[in-house]
Amino acid sequence: MKKFATFALLFSCLFLGCRSVYYSTWEKLGKQKRDLLQSKVKQVRDEQQDASQQLKDALTRLQELYGFQGGDLEKIYRGLQRDYDSSAAKARALQDRIRQMNQIARDLFKEWESEAKSITSSTLRESSLSQLRETRRRYEELYTATLKAEQSMEPVLAKFRDYVLYLKHNLNAQAIGALQVEAKKIQIDISQLIDEMNAAIRKADEFMREK
Nearest to 138 by CA among 36, 14, 41, 49: 41
**pLDDT at position 105:** 97
Is 4 a residue whose pLDDT tops 50? no
25 and 41: one domain?
no
117 and 43: one domain?
yes
* Sequence letter at residue 101: M
112 and 152: one domain?
yes
Are the beta carbons of 116 and 174 closer than 8 angstroms? Answer: no
Q: Compute φ and ψ for 164, nearest 5 degrees.
A: -65, -40
Structurally, the chain folds into a number of domains equal to: 2
pLDDT in tens, 82-102: 999 999 999 999 999 999 999
- Which phi-psi region, left, alpha or beta, contains residue 155 (left: φ > 0; alpha: ψ -120 to 50)? alpha
Spell out the residues 6+ positions from residue 207 whose beta carbon is closer than 8 angstroms to its own. 41, 138, 139, 142
79 and 164: one domain?
yes
63 and 139: one domain?
yes
Residue 22 and residue 26: Cα distance in Å, rounded?
6
149 and 187: one domain?
yes
DSSP 71: S
1 and 103: one domain?
no
7 and 108: one domain?
no
Full residue range of the structural domain in which residue 194 is found: 37-209
According to the 3-state scheme, what is the secondary structure of 94-142?
Answer: HHHHHHHHHHHHHHHHHHHHHHHHCCCCHHHHHHHHHHHHHHHHHHHHH
Residue 211 and residue 121: Cα distance in Å, rounded?
24
25 and 124: one domain?
no
Residue 150 and residue 80: Cα distance in Å, rounded?
21
pLDDT in tens, 178-198: 777 777 788 888 899 999 999
124 and 186: one domain?
yes
Tell me the pLDDT band of 146, cut-offs 50, 70 and 90. very high
12 and 43: one domain?
no
78 and 23: one domain?
no
